[in-house]
Structure 1
Amino acid sequence: MLSEPLNMSADVTESHMAESPLLRADGRPVEWATSSGYVDYAKAEAAMEARVAAIAAGEASELVWLLEHPPLYTAGVSAKADDLLMPDRFPVYKTGRGGQFTYHGPGQRVAYVMLDLTQRGRDVRGFVHGMENWIIGALDRFGVEAGMREGRVGVWVERKGAGWAREDKIAAIGVKVRKWVSFHGISLNVEPDLDHFGGIVPCGITEHGVTSLMDLGILASMDDADDALKASFQKHFGPVIAGQPPL
């Protein structure tokens, strides 16, 4: 789920910073903000647009914004009309991020990631790969073995039983980059109603399912998920400081 315009705490050591182009050379921290309650999607997207413009103009700091949305579907730039199976089930929003249809709703942690990639190597694919590794690192803190799959953006877990095996997606990634500033981001399934995904073909993939920490038998709160995400983010992208949600 990639769109290109051109195409619970962890320390970050100096040696690690030198090894990763996704870590800022100047070590400037990223603001980390969390909204309570459910945030309206259209308002959130407008707030992201404004913050991205300010970052690009050098008028605002980078930001990771954590939130939850009420139940809704979003259609990325590659969305196919036939993949919207229940158009009247929840509101549907067209959006400029990469990818196809996704679901957002209660129990799912959405993180909107607004980073200045001019300070982080100007490598969009490397950035998306870093996002995947960020989620994988967070899930590892719950003992979940997750990974990437060739040709499928996102984070996946392999599930097996007597006589069966399948792969399910536990986190989605959909980003856009404008003037080398990223926005949109990730969604991690903590304990959403997985039946809500049935109104779409998630990310256009029919042969695999979706799962969550709860579905895997892991009783994690949203705060637990946030702590894991923050710790893993700092390992891959650098230090964070407390920030304010943009709305």
Structure 2
Amino acid sequence: MDVEWRISDEPVDYEAALADMTARAAAIAADEAGERVWLLEHPPLFTAGTSADPAELMNPDQFPVFDAGRGGRYTYHGPGQRVGYLNLDLSKRGKDIRCFVHALEGWMIDALAELGVEARREEGRIGIWTGSGDQEAKIGAIGVRVKRWVTLHGFSINVAPDLSHFGGIVPCGIADFGVTSLAHLGLDAGMAELDAALKARFPDFLERLSSACARNG
């Protein structure tokens, strides 16, 4: 099954992106549209997931705050951060949400490896992590929703955002660790290089869905 790739060169308004993504998911569920991966950036903003704790929004006046409808807690989006919205049909790829999230984490880790970043999962923590000791930090976030077995939302990877912007929230509810980016790690890779790495490792991600996830679902 072919999956459309859409890349937006200019920052996309969050509410417009949410409406577009929701409409696309409904069309996929009705068998009226194909699956899609949408790579974009947003203007600076905070989003609140379904488990968001108001105490973790320390500066509500810093940027606009949106209810995302996805799982998870507070997240920052802004220029220099690659956001990936996935509208995939799990009724055809495996009705296993946990497996889908695990495969999504693997895709992010594989793409970062293409750019020379040793990234990993950490037991008990959401997101993608890199570094060790005092340098351990989060480089990627995940927040998804599944409706009628079609996925919404997806992931974000920090390329070169203003990391001070994360100070207005407790990112994903994890206060004991900081956030990092490709630029902060001293890498020259930009959006184009990350996009190319994501696309190169996308077939592996789909293979995980069609093997492990389809078997479980």
TM-score range, shorter chain: over 0.9
Select which of 161, 176, 185 maps to 2:154.
Answer: 185
SS in 2 for 1:137: helix
Partner of 1:71: 44
Distance 2:85 2:135 in 1: 29
Superposed counterparts of 1:4-83, under 5 Å:
28-83=1-56
Say whether 1:235 aligns with 2:204.
Answer: yes
Distance 2:18 2:200 in 1: 26
| Structure having greater relative contact order (Cα 8 Å, sep ≥ 6) | 1
SS in 1 for 2:23: helix
Q: Give 1:207 deviation, angstroms.
A: 0.6
Q: Does the CA-based 8 Å contact 2:126-2:172 persist in structure 1? A: no
Distance 1:145 1:228 in 2: 14
Letter in 1 for 2:68: T
Select which of 180, 189, 195 maps to 1:226.
Answer: 195
Say whether 1:170 aligns with 2:139.
Answer: yes
Say whether 1:111 aligns with 2:80.
Answer: no
Percent identical among aligned pairs is 58
Q: CA-to-partner distance for each residue in 1:193-235, whole Å, 9 max, x for gaps?
A: 0000000000010011100000111011110110011111122
SS in 2 for 1:38: coil
Number of aligned positions between the proteins: 207
Letter in 2 for 1:72: L
Q: Does the CA-based 8 Å contact 1:148-1:155 persist in structure 2? A: yes
Q: Give 1:166 deviation, angstroms.
A: 4.3
Q: Does the CA-based 8 Å contact 1:166-1:208 persist in structure 2? A: no
TM-score (norm 1): 0.82
The structure where helix makes up a greater share of residues is 2
Partner of 1:124: 97
**Which structure 2 segments of 5+ residues have no match?**
208-217
Letter in 2 for 1:30: V
